[in-house]
Amino acid sequence: MKLLLSFSFFLFTSLCAFAQQDYVPRFDAFTGFSYLNSPKLNLAERGFNAEFGVNLNRWLALGADYSIFTGHSDITPADLKSSILAQLPPPNLLPPGTVLALPFDSTTYTFSAGPQINFRQLKWFTFFIRPALGGMHETATLKPNSPVTALLVQAIAPSGKKSDLEVFYGAGGGFDFNASKHVGLRVGLDYVHVNLFSDILAEGRNSLRVSVGPTFRFGSNVP
């Protein structure tokens, strides 16, 4: 991510000799497919992302972002805090060949708001960078598949579901391909850190979101 930000700044502040964009809309909106990957939990989620922004001038915008994802993975002993592991039978008392992995389905929401810096030195492409600061809400539906994982569910979420809401932080960037005056194609990347379910999980996680879809521009031309 640091390489992406450095490359964007260096390249697009040095291209002033190229034709710049004549029309910069007051408003823009984005909607499209989104993918959220959290390698720490081997959790890949797919869903939908929507953004809305107001261009304060030709390089600075303020906007809001919302996304929703669903996916599934497994919780393993390596993911859990020692206080949770202490409530389970010792490994030497488990039947031979037992693999302790608790499957779960996940539904994740994110929402954020903040500034975005746009680079408009190229007619056909608008590159942007932005801080990523907001909230992430996740609901895990636990699916025990053995007596041991059923015992684990009783230890961490007797109802079979567990939800949490935490602040995430990081950085993002991407580009718009300006197909026409009012319609473009956006590719966005956001890399964030969040510490969900800190009462049971040993560590926080880093997550990468990739979003692709159309962007729509409208409103008066920003001076």
Could you tell me the pLDDT band of residue 2, with boundaries at 50, 70 and 90?
low
- CA-based angle 220:116:2, to the nearest 5? 150
Class of 2-221 per CATH?
A: mainly beta
Return the closest-CA partner of residue 105 out of 61, 138, 152, 65: 138
pLDDT tens track for 140-189: 999 998 888 898 899 899 999 999 999 999 999 999 999 999 999 999 99
Compute how many other C-beta atoms are within 10 angstroms of the C-beta atom of residue 220: 10
Rounded Cα–Cα distance for residues 78 and 201 (Å): 9
Summarised one tens digit per residue, pLDDT across range 84-136 is 888 877 766 667 767 788 999 999 999 999 999 999 999 999 999 999 999 99
Name the pLDDT band for 12 (thresholds 50, 70, 90). very low
Q: Tens digits of per-residue pLDDT, 114-128?
A: 999 999 999 999 999
So what's the pLDDT on residue 99?
73
Domain ranges of the chain: 2-221
